[in-house]
Amino acid sequence: MLNRDSYKNIIAISQIIWCIGFFLFLISCTNENKHAEGEILAKTNCASCHLFPDPSILPRRVWGEKILPDMGLKMGMSHGPIYSYGNPDSTKNLKPTISQEDWDKIVHYYLNRSENSIPKYPIQVQEKSDLFKPHIFLNDSLSIITLTNYDEDSGSLFLGNASDYTLLTLDSKGDVLNYEKLESPPVKIAFKDSLDYLLTIGNLNPSDEAKGKLKIGHNSIEGLNRPVDFLIHDINLDGYDDVFLCNYGNTIGDFSLFENLKDGTYKKKVIHPYSGAIKVEMANMDADEENEIVVLFAQEHEMIMIWDYANNSFIGKKAVQFQPAFGSVDFQLRDMDGDGLKDIIIGNGDNSDLSTVLKNFHGVRILLNKGDKEFSKDYFLPIHGVSKIRAEDFDLDGDTDILAISNFGDFTDPKFRSVQLLINEGDLQFKPKYISGLPDFRWQTLDISDYDKDGDLDIFLGSFNVNIGPKESNISDRKKISWVRLENRIK
């Protein structure tokens, strides 16, 4: 039996253990309350500029070292619970949008609710496809291709070289016919009514410098904020072509109409004052008989907007939006389910800014059109670092296949394929295949055309072998590939 002193000691120890447990419980409750408050604050403040980002989308290290310091500066905060800014100039003239106490709660929320790493999706072994025969062109000075365009009328291939700011014109054998020196890298070329339209970006790296230019014949539109795409269309039906321009920018940018004033000059009308406009298309997206303007925004906005035009005004609607690390790069408009409405095929994989880790939400998605500019997310195939997509009937079996190329791939995994042909098997089922004889490389530009005029679609790819993005994407020591022509062998 226990004596009285031993019994008292047991009681005392039990009370101490209970007190410690209760104290830890209170701390846990306090932390939970702080995290809950941080989540509410994040959904209120962070989601005021873009879609609310869940902590699970990025690793804890990326949140703490990259995203939160960057967002803190944008919100006027000088520091957080675990970081300070190395550059004193970055904290000058800050205008806080929230209190330091609230910002600390947001930081605690993301650091405690995120994981050390995000899951990697398993890369499946793919069957090879002999549909295309690769013709590979090597040139050490052409490792950064910013434009790939084949013009069927002239039979010329145009390549934009970011290394020396030149536009190259090549013949059918790949021999260079002409070098044109430019002020900055060319990113798009188009031809209409005897006019050539040539877009130069200004600064390829993130920048708000207004050094971009659209050359239109002997005239030009200058002072553009890092432009990346344009659409030629006579929107006001006055007989003169106007131009829609995607000024991607960095923190400053917009989607604008440049109205043709009939004297070689253009008047700018901002349609949407958001940076990140990356692609514009025109198509009938609903049940009426009129075309709409469809624009993809990247950066933190990550959304697709659709505009109707009537009475000299644009009426826009947000069709879909994704979280700010989504990395939108490209889209196509095709009727994928046969209901007569254009659906959206979107590719996402940009991975060169703050959160340069492999992401399991990169890939190809199909958004089905439900009418009234409403879309549902009905198909997803994960592919690391998608840079461009094209949706066409490549095998001529009557349905739409999808080609996806990648710049920021997982080249450490031998099963990863940087070019994937998604063969349509019906009912939104696709079988990914890789192209036999095509090396896995970093691809950034893409064009399709019936190059040999035999009735099927051939493909042109441009390389982008620069050591940026996730460490798994670095293949800068590999042999330089400039561009590739994929000859369709269906006919």
Rounded Cα–Cα distance for residues 101 and 97 (Å): 12
Rounded Cα–Cα distance for residues 351 and 326 (Å): 9
- Pairing status of strand 127-129 against strand 458-463: unpaired
Give me 69's structure tokens: 């310091």
- Pairing status of strand 212-216 against strand 219-224: antiparallel
Q: Are 451 and 150 in contact, with CB atoms under 8 Å apart?
A: yes
Average pLDDT across each block of 10 residues of the chain; the chain has 491 residues. List them in order.
51 49 42 73 84 95 92 82 67 82 92 94 95 92 91 95 95 91 98 96 94 97 98 97 97 97 97 97 93 96 96 94 96 97 98 94 98 95 98 97 98 97 96 97 97 96 94 89 96 89
Q: Are 114 and 55 in contact, with CB atoms under 8 Å apart?
A: yes
Q: Fill in the amino acid letter for 33.
A: N
* CA–CA–CA angle 29, 30, 31 (5° rounding): 90
pLDDT of residue 30: 47
pLDDT of residue 33: 58
- Pairing status of strand 127-129 against strand 430-435: parallel
Give the E-state strand segments of 49-131 in sequence order: 127-129
Q: Which of 196, 194, 202 is nearest to 146 (CA)?
A: 202
Q: Are 248 and 259 in contact, with CB atoms under 8 Å apart?
A: no
pLDDT of residue 117: 95
Domains of the chain, earliest start first? 4-113 (no CATH), 127-488 (2.130.10.130)
DSSP 3-state assignment of 71? helix
Question: Would you call 467 exposed, middle or buried from its count of C-beta atoms within 10 A (0-12, 13-18, 19+)?
Answer: exposed
Q: What is the CA radius of gyration of the chain?
A: 26
Q: Which of 88, 180, 186, 140 is nearest to 478 (CA)?
A: 140
pLDDT of residue 78: 75
* Tokens 């790296």, residue located: 205
Entry field: residues in the chain? 491
pLDDT of residue 36: 83
Rounded Cα–Cα distance for residues 208 and 226 (Å): 7
Q: Which helix (H) or strand (E) holds 92?
A: none
